[in-house]
Structure 1
Amino acid sequence: MTIGQRIRQLREESGMKQRELAAKLDIGEGFLSKVENDQKLLKREDLKKLSEFFNVAHSDLETLWLANKVYDLIKDENQGLEALKVAEEQAKYVRK
């Protein structure tokens, strides 16, 4: 699941319209539509607002948000998947 899909899911489960959530986040409805369709990314600070609105863990939303940023970096790279594997190994090494 992407961050956009999760935001849409949370919004729909709460019965909230896009315009209502957009107003709470102080963004345009069109921008929120693009966020939900994974064409745009919210600011990191908006994740805290979302976690409070929908009573979900901030860390879960942040994980999806970061995954989206990583994917955007590697999606058009020929060696993107291989680079992601190397980065994962480096992260494991650093955490030890």
Structure 2
Amino acid sequence: MELGTAIRRIRINLGIKQEELAAALDVSQSYLSKVESNKSKLYVDDLVRIAEYTNTPLINFFTEEMKEEPSGHDSIQRNEILNLLKEQNRYLQLLVDKKM
């Protein structure tokens, strides 16, 4: 699943309208629509703000498609990816904490 698709899924699951999230992020609805349809790149700061607004850990935006349990070599690769994402999540959380 691509990042924009994950953002859309999380937003919809939380019952947040696209207009509401765009306003909270101080971005245009057009930009958010393009991000959610994977037609525009997302700035890291915007992703962090989306995570804060939705109270969603950053790693959740990247791990949805990894819920199935692979075996063998795929399992090792999956674990390496998850570890990298967890490390990145910790780093981004430190950045967010410094801003507060």
Q: TM-score range by the shorter chain?
A: 0.5 to 0.7
1:55 to partner: Cα distance: 2.1
Consecutive aligned runs of 4 or more in structure 1 exceeding 3 Å deviation: none
User: Secondary structure at the residue paired with 2:21?
Assistant: helix
Map of 2:10 onto structure 1? 10
Name the TM-score, length of structure 2 as normaliser: 0.56
The CA distance in 1 between the partners of 2:19 and 2:13, in whole Å, is: 15
Post-superposition Cα deviations, 1:20-56, rounded to whole Å, max 9, x if no partner, equal 0101111111111111100001211112111112222
Structure 2, unpaired ranges of 5+: 64-100
The CA distance in 2 between the partners of 1:10 and 1:35, in whole Å, is: 13
Aligned length: 65
Map of 2:24 onto structure 1? 24
User: Secondary structure at the residue paired with 1:58?
Assistant: coil
1:14 to partner: Cα distance: 1.1
Code of the aligned partner of 1:38: N
User: Secondary structure at the residue paired with 2:8?
Assistant: helix
Map of 1:52 onto structure 2? 52
In our comparison, the structure showing a higher alpha carbon Rg is 1
1:59 to partner: Cα distance: 3.7
Code of the aligned partner of 1:11: R
